Amino acid sequence: MMRAQTITEENSTADLTPSVKPSMPWRVAHVEALGNFRLQVRFLDGLEGIVDMDALVHSPDAGFFQVLAQPALFRQVHLVHGVVTWPGEIDLAPDAMYRHIQAEGTWLLR
């Protein structure tokens, strides 16, 4: 007669798969809508600055950013995987934002 043998084994998959930690310094950790179509942002590495979108959203060449001239929609800013985003799949390139803020403290979009 064969007996079933119980083998207790630790879950080795967790040891093989490293935890996912966003390591790109240009990923945004916090965003807050300010007045006059500006954003306060803080990146994973602690760098902070302002994104000034006033000229862009009021420009005749704003394209899909033109809808953000509605203050209620602009205030709906949030983060998706470290990217500043609004409803309607509108987002900003975090790496470009990081470079400008690192160099000048502000990213002025026109």
Rounded to the nearest 5°, which phi and psi values hold at 91? -145, 170
The pLDDT tens digits of the residues spanning 12-53 come to: 445 555 555 556 778 999 999 999 999 999 999 999 999 999
Give the pLDDT of residue 23: 62
Task: Name the region of 88 (left: φ>0; alpha: ψ -120 to 50; beta: rest).
Answer: left
The pLDDT tens digits of the residues spanning 50-90 come to: 999 999 999 999 999 999 999 999 999 999 999 999 999 99
Cα Rg of the chain (Å, integer): 22
Domains and CATH numbers, the chain: 26-108 (3.30.2020.10)
pTM exceeding 0.85: no
